[in-house]
Structure 1
Amino acid sequence: MSSRWVPGNRITLLENGEAYYPRVFEVIAAAEREVLLETFILFDDKVGQQLQQALLAAAARGAEVHVLVDGWGSPDLPASFTQPLMDAGVRLRSFEPARWLFGARVNLLRRMHHKLVVVDGQRAFVGGINYSIDHLREFGPLAKQDYAVELEGPLVGQIQAFCRANVLAPQPARSQWLQRWRAGLARGGVTDTQDGGAVAAFVTRDNHLHRTDIERHYRAAVRNARQRVLIANAYFFPGYRLLRDLRRAARRGVQVDLIVQGHPDQPWVKRATELLYRHLLRAGVNLFEYNDRPLHGKVAVVDDNWATVGSSNLDPTSLSLNLEANVVVRDPAFARHLRERIDHLLEESCERVERPATGRLRSAWIAVRSMVVFHALRRFPVWASRASVRQPKVVPMGSEGP
């Protein structure tokens, strides 16, 4: 796996844009040496403009500022947004800029889905929150529910090395891996922290050396679960192996609670996940739909000891195609706190999914349909790995945007 467990970290949960944006903007604006930021979505709206001002403040203080956005998620930033940043010395880059054919974007797959910030090698932020107003409740019924973490401690050095390799000098995959490994050793202790802090790992997925690392962490935690597995994941359509592990955990007496979207931002998400309902319910998995607003979180807790927060959904694109980044934590205090926050969603805003009563003919159809779906899921990682993977382009952004 790409991870290395590191003790002595301080980890703070940040829920939704209301907690995340003020904190990350404050830390960025106070930067003295370096800001590294990677995000899937950056929009020229209220939130994006606040980020712009924080980046300008960091640059004015003399910090070296690097921003990498995904070319699909952030395809049309106007010059009025990008030019002041470039004039201030901020280095803006776009990962795989959108390619257009007859007015439509065609390079949807293999996106840079990270949401990462590292400031001065002292603090890092990892999670699922983009820079757009739809992560604030004031956006209305479609405002997203999501999570991130702020980190201090030795793990920040690993995240810094990872981001530097991405934004400074993109190289072939094996060279990137070697550079990150060496940089991680050199900078792993850049931040002092008190002994006895949280043990944590920074886990990434790419299309070369670390295709299954995040999924393997999930699977190991579920297989070792003894009391409870609690997962809240926006886009839930995982591979066959993770489904099998969840079913086996439930059958051996572990309480397996899964929260998925009930009020999705994209209707196809719910329809896809519903294909799995019967298969999971029959094994004793407890299914809940979150109905307050669209769920965008990618979090989990196992036995009040293991937890993860990050950008990776549990669906084919995140597990087999996109570039993703999660933090995995072994710390009872953090795990309990995250579990309490997820349980709050479950108790206040979720509806339990009951096993439907169906006739014999319909049951047979569901069984056939499920068999096709599960075999497709089981084979999807293999198909994805065989697809051609060229080195992605990371290009400087011009005055007209990516």
Structure 2
Amino acid sequence: AALTRAAARGVRVQVLVDGGGSPTLPSDYWRDLEAAGGQAHIFNPLTFRHFSLRSHRKLLLIDDATAVTGGFNISLEYDGDGVTTGWRDFGIELQDPAALRQLAASFDHLFTHHLARRFLRHRWQHRTLLRPAYYRLPGPVLFSGPRLVRNQFSRQLLQTLRHARHVRIVSAYFAPSFRLRCALRAVALRGGTVELLLAGKSDVPLAQRAARSIYGSLLKAGVVIWEYQPQILHAKLAVVDDNVFAGTANLDARSLAINHELMVHFCEPRLATEARAMFAADLRHSQQILLEDWQRTRTLLTRFRGAIARFLLTTVDPWLARRQMRDAR
């Protein structure tokens, strides 16, 4: 209703929702908004043959002066404090001019190419599936997309971890690449501190099984793992010394190799201090996972389920995404 009222008074209102994230919206959901002069598109409408490539970005951009991004969607699940009710999530408000230019350009690009399979078919036919132009804009926003374009977030995170001393990461879904797991282990093995806050409750049980299946090698290296207990954890945050990464990407194959994502990166001590305080506050509602406790849970059936979950999420899902991108029609 608020968007419709804004459009009626002459504000340019554009809404882009993901076809996989909003599959139950009725066909006439945006009728009033469009009648008032607004525009609404579905990114890559969900079909059996085109279900994989998704936009996981969450962005509110107002007058090219203020932007909000983070893990939260517009949904009833987020109505609460994340402790007593509602999912645990957070975001970041931006007024940085460079970031606003990046975010506006990225939105315009996806809004124009919301029928992703047409865009992919054109790019494959012309052999030009490279980085979109907005990837090259200077600023603090790091973009992720299909593996066929450079993943700025994972590259920057890996680079930051090379000389890191203190690492704190919050990830709702955790199935990182072997290279990223090695980077986290390396920080701990050389005497740094690495703390991971992961989901004790999850809306995707398969993702939780995959995450728990790789705890062992991290715990043995000295990585400290916590699981958030009161509600479903949906937040995404990394604090590496004075570097803060916040946005929409999890540390899993889908965020790092398939989805359209965005993360904001600032190297700012004050912001890092605030992020560490927020991390510490969430630990009061979390349970530490000890190596001996984890080992006791690793029955043959648990190991089998974890291996299958990890294979599906880190191998099968990216393979299907690549096939669907090549077969876009």
TM-score, scaled to structure 1: 0.69
User: Hey, what's the Cα distance between the residues in 1 that align with 2:204 and 2:102?
Assistant: 34
**TM-superposition CA deviations, 1:57-103 (whole Å, max 9, x none):** 32133121111110111123235641111111111100111226xxx
For the 8 Å contact 2:207–2:313, the answer to whether it is kept is no
Distance verdict in 2 for CA 1:369–1:245, change over 3 Å: farther
Aligned counterparts of 2:263 and 2:314: Cα–Cα separation in 1: 23
Contact 1:240 / 1:377 at 8 angstroms: preserved in 2?
A: no
Task: Name the CA shift for 1:392/1:128 in 2 (closer, same or farther; >3 Å).
Answer: farther
* Contiguous gaps of at least 5 residues in structure 1: 1-52, 101-105, 189-199, 394-402
Q: Assess if the C-alpha contact under 8 Å between 1:238 and 1:377 holds in 2.
A: no
In structure 2, stretches of 5+ residues that fail to align are none
Identical amino acids, percent of aligned pairs:
32
**How far 1:287 sits from its partner (Å)?**
0.6
Task: State the shift of 1:229 in Å.
Answer: 0.2
Asked if the contact 2:254/2:318 (under 8 Å) is kept, the reply is no
Local SS of the residue matching 2:187: helix
Distance (Å, rounded) in 1 between the aligned partners of 2:281 and 2:144: 30
1:202 paired to 2:156: no
Corresponding residue for 2:325? 389
**Residue of structure 1 aligned with 2:18, choices 61, 70, 74:** 70
8 Å contact from structure 1 (residues 215, 319) kept in 2: yes
- SS across alignment from 2:230: coil
Given that 1:118 and 1:124 are in contact with CA atoms closer than 8 Å, whether structure 2 keeps it comes out as: yes
| Contact 1:247/1:283, CA 8 A, preserved across alignment | yes
Q: Distance in 1 between matches of 2:47 and 2:313?
A: 28
Q: Structure 1 residue 289: deviation in Å?
A: 0.7
| Secondary structure of 1:264 counterpart | coil
Per-residue deviation, 1:224: 2.0
Relative distance call for 1:238 and 1:373 in structure 2 (3 A) is same
Q: Give the aligned partner of residue 154 of structure 2.
A: 215
Question: How many Å apart are 1:299 and its aligned residue?
Answer: 0.5
Answer yes or no: is the 8 Å Cα contact 1:279–1:370 preserved in 2: no
1:209 deviates by: 5.1
Root-mean-square deviation (CA), in Å? 3.4
Aligned length: 317
Match of 2:68 among 120, 125, 132: 125
Query: Relative to structure 1, is the Cα distance of residues 285 and 176 closer, same or farther in structure 2, using a 3 angstrom cutoff?
Result: closer
Q: Give the direction of change, closer, same or farther, for the CA distance of 1:215–1:380 in structure 2 (3 Å limit).
A: farther
TM-score (norm 2): 0.84
Letter in 2 for 1:309: A
Aligned pairs for 1:93-172 (under 5 A) are: 93-99=41-47, 107-137=50-80, 143-154=86-97, 155-168=99-112
Give the number of the structure whose residues are more often strand, by fraction: 1
| TM-aligned CA distance change 1:364 to 1:247, over 3 Å | farther
Corresponding position of 1:308:
245
